[in-house]
Amino acid sequence: MLADSHIHLFENGYQDSDKNTLETYLPLIHEFSISRALVIGYEGEPWALGNNAYIANLKKSNSWISPVAFFKASDLSRENLESLVDQGFVGISLYVFTNEDVGILRDIDDEIWQWLVDNKWLVSVNSKGDLWLLWMEVLKRNPTLTLLISHIGLITIPTKPISGDEIATALTTIASLMNFSNVYLKLSGFYALEPSDLVHAYQRLEPYIKYVVEKFSAGRLIWGSDFPLSLDKGSFRQTFENLNYIEPLKLKNILEDNLQRLLR
């Protein structure tokens, strides 16, 4: 069985493609025995507005859905959080790709982070590079906050082979964040990270994945498909089949058990 930590569902399809994402995902649930999916809200572009309400409504009739509400950094307030309490959300989704967003979040009152802790809500973040350093500051003040790092931190994978020391350097900030006990790393977005044309082989990404599995606690690694975007580059099976070398018990934790425990 699988538990998917990163999918998107859009009423009119991704970028208004008119492809019904729910109808596409439902057969995958049966084919791959998916027990739970963290549905990451996204309203960062005009075509995606209303996504929070849409996925909250889907939750009512789909018990496998655990929705995460999209927030702009500037909209993160206690009032806005409390307005969502009764809608079935289990956390918030932040996309932090500008220094402006970092500045806003750096000034957020710790009352907001404590509210998230008290309500057992998780914080799923898409970000990259030095922008991850923000979370060192937040977690030092709020060490029990549950942070989910999407897509292995969107590290940049070079097109040429590199050494183990270079891999360690690339993951330095992520490794520091993983020192906090409530930080989880999503093994997701492989298709977006792999720089080679042979996406199915993940030939440049593979050493990074092996490093992560070896160095970080297997109890805090969670797989995610990044559906439906990943299907533009490969099959659904290819979002996890390159992990099959992992020892079976660890693999089961990564593919299902860790997310299930987190959501309980």
Instruction: Give per-residue pLDDT as tens, 206-264.
Output: 999 999 999 999 999 999 999 999 999 889 999 999 999 999 999 999 999 999 999 98
Q: What is the pLDDT of residue 61?
A: 97
> How high is the pLDDT of residue 198?
58
- Beta-carbon contacts of 210 under 8 Å, excluding residues fewer than 6 positions away, are none
Place 163 in a pLDDT band, splitting at 50, 70 and 90.
very high
Q: How far is CA 194 from CA 155, 157, 261, in A?
A: 10, 7, 29
**pLDDT, tens digit, 9 for 90 and up, residues 12-62:** 999 999 999 999 999 999 999 999 999 999 999 999 999 999 999 999 999
What's the domain count of the chain? Answer: 1
Token digits of residue 72:
């702009």
Cα 220 to Cα 97, 118, 213, 228, 240, distances in angstroms: 24, 21, 10, 24, 16
d(CA 234, CA 43): 25
Q: Encode 98-113: b = buried (16+ Cβ within 10 Å), e = exposed.
A: eeebbebbeeeeeebb
Task: Compute the residue count for the chain.
Answer: 264
pTM of the model: 0.96
Does residue 217 contact residue 209 with C-beta atoms inside 8 Å?
no
Q: Which CATH number characterizes residue 141's domain?
A: 3.20.20.140
How far is the C-alpha of 114 from the C-alpha of 20, rounded, in Å? 37
pLDDT value at residue 122: 98
Predicted pLDDT of residue 202: 87
Over residues 152-174, the mean pLDDT reads 94
Domain extent for 254: 2-263
Phi, psi of 83 (to 5 degrees): -70, -15
Pairing mode of beta strands 146-149, 122-127: parallel
DSSP 27: H
Query: 3-class DSSP state for residue 146?
Result: strand
Per-residue model confidence as pLDDT tens digits over 181-208: 999 999 999 999 998 875 567 889 999 9
Residue 161's pLDDT band, with cuts at 50, 70 and 90, is confident
pLDDT, tens digit (0-9, with 9 covering 90-100), for 56-80: 999 999 999 999 999 999 999 999 9
H-state helical runs in the chain: 21-32, 51-59, 78-82, 99-106, 110-118, 133-141, 164-170, 172-177, 190-193, 206-215, 248-252, 258-263
**158 pLDDT above the threshold of 80:** yes
